Amino acid sequence: MLWLWGLTVHINFKLLVSGVLLSLSQQAFAQVNIFACEPEYAALAEELAPEARIYSATTAMQDPHLVQARPSLIAKMRQADLVICAGAELEIGWLPMLQMKAANAQVRSTDKGLFFAAEHVDTLDKMANVDRSMGDVHSLGNPHLHFSPERMLLIAKALTKKLVQLDIEQTEAYQQRLQSFSKRWQAASSKWHEMASQLKGMKVIAYHSSFRYLFDFVGIEQVADLEPKPGLPPTSTHLASLLKRAKQDDISAIVVASYQDLRGANWLAEKSSLPVIVLPLSVGGNEQSNDLFSLYDNVLDLLIQEYNAQKLLTL
């Protein structure tokens, strides 16, 4: 009980002495502390606020749907000034628990230090009626936004606004960073669109809808999914039906993300003699993908290499 009394004294002290001052001072002098749910948003933060302390809760080798609300993440969120997540319910299985346990009011509301990328762009595949029998689908649309160059630029702009809101004194620096990023991104985007034109019409079987936006922007058609339903692992009956589909001979490759299990893909590849392409899900998904730019470069390179090899074979 003595201990409890100590607590109340502590709150009292903070209230009386600091009150409003406290919340101001915390933001003005400290380095901005950023917690990113996924590595692509840590990478974006790195571009827009390189002097911030940035932590990514997940790696490109991890399924962002299934993350443990583990102690280290709670501790990091406790200290965060800004939390950047994909949103659209991607993190529904762990983010609310982290927020609850971290007791950090600053990052509970998007009015303050919480930023959901999906709120600033149009998502694909929104659904009016979502039912669990459909698997792990999100009514707010596909949350794996980061392979859409146009959307990432919009997100960068919105994120800069958020950074300015939280750290108003550095407004100019943030604006400059955004300007520089936009310039480089737009230049890279036109290069990527050019690369993408080589891939137009490519048909693939992929695992989950992880690359929905990539395929959308590049013009690749995902004709089938290794998952029988979103979130459910491949079953043998489903794989058998995919093999049947593969025999139509119009498919160029099986695409799997860096965190996904290869067993189903390898089985199908062996039976159908289709190549398997493992694409980095995000920054850090392979050696070449060190930032957003090299991630896009690498993903497009991998696809083009395989597609060209396939075309040579059929000639």
Partner 1 sequence: MKNMKFSPTRLSAKVSAALAMSALIPVLAQAQTPTLSNPTVSAILDGYYQSENRLMAERTEGFGLGETELAFSASIDDMFYGKLTTVFETHDGESEVNIEEAFIQTMALPNGFTVRAGRFLSDIGYLNNQHLHSDSFTSRPSAYRAFLGGHYFDDGLRVSYIAPTDLYWTMGAEVFSGDSLRAADEHGERKFDRTGVYTAFTKFGGDIGVESSWQLGFSYLRNENGLLTPEEHDEHGEGDHEDEHAEDEHGHSHSASYTGKNTYVADFVFKWAPNGNYKYQHLTLSAEYFRVSDFMVPELHDEHEEEDHHDEDEHAEGNSKDYHQAWYVSGVYQFSPNWSAGLRYGELDSQLQHEEHFDAQELKETELSIAWHNSHFSTVRLEFSHQSNVGFDNDLSDNAITLQYVMALGAHGAHQF
Return residues touching partner 1 (CB under 8 A).
1, 3-5, 7-8, 11-12, 14-15, 19-20, 22-23, 58-59, 61-63, 65-72, 74-76, 78-79, 92-97, 100-105, 108-109, 111-112, 132, 135-136, 231-233, 259-261
Type of residue numbered 110: T
Alpha carbons 247 and 68: distance in angstroms, whole number: 40
Q: Judged by CB, which is closer to partner 1: 132, or 237?
A: 132
CB of 247: closest distance to partner 1 in angstroms?
A: 27
Which of residues 86 and 102 has its CB atom nearest to partner 1 in the complex?
102
| Nearer residue to partner 1 within complex by CB, 11 or 315 | 11
- The minimum distance between CB 139 and partner 1, in angstroms, equals 11
User: Cβ of residue 50: shortest distance to partner 1, in angstroms?
Assistant: 21
Q: How far is the CB of 270 from partner 1 (least distance, A)?
A: 20
Among left, alpha and beta (phi > 0; psi -120 to 50; other), residue 103 is left
SS3 32: coil
Q: Name the minimum Å distance from CB 259 to partner 1.
A: 5
CA distance 56 to 72: 11
Scanning the chain, the segments in alpha helix (DSSP H) are: 2-13, 20-29, 39-48, 71-79, 95-102, 149-166, 171-197, 212-218, 236-246, 263-272, 292-314
**298, 73 Cβ separation under 8 angstroms:** no
Cα-trace Rg, the chain: 22
Nearer to partner 1 (CB atom), residue 61 or residue 158: 61
**Measured from the CB atom, is 93 or 275 closer to partner 1?**
93
DSSP state of 30: S
